[in-house]
């Protein structure tokens, strides 16, 4: 769906305003070009929705992964290498 469409491609209803699904703010589509001007809620870059539709916009760097995720990944990698080594 393009940003300048005037009707919903699914139901065919014409858009008169855009309403944020998170905070309920309603206004002209131009104000939502970079997400909700009130809470920052925005669609993902490819326009797809995940679960509730999208994720909030983040202005800072992403949070680092917890240590347990790295340890789990390292353990799975070690198990895969050991399995491959035992096959050879």
Tens of pLDDT along 22-70? 888 888 877 877 788 888 887 655 554 444 444 555 555 667 888 999 9
In a domain, 81, yes or no: yes
In a domain, 11, yes or no: no
Residue 4: is its pLDDT beyond 70? no
Residue 18: is its pLDDT beyond 80? no
* Domain of 23, in residue numbers: 18-87
Domains identified in the chain, total number: 1
In a domain, 58, yes or no: yes
In a domain, 67, yes or no: yes
Which H or E run contains 81?
helix 67-87
Closest CA to 42 of 51, 74, 33: 33
In a domain, 5, yes or no: no
């Amino acid at each position: 769906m393009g940003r300048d469409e005037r009707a919903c491609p699914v139901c065919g209803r014409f858009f008169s305003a855009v309403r944020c699904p998170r905070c309920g703010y309603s206004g002209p589509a131009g104000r939502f070009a970079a997400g909700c001007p009130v809470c920052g809620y925005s669609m993902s870059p490819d326009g797809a929705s995940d679960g509730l539709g999208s994720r909030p916009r983040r202005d800072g760097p992403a949070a680092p992964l917890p240590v347990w995720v790295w340890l789990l990944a390292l353990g799975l990698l070690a198990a895969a290498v050991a399995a491959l080594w035992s096959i050879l």
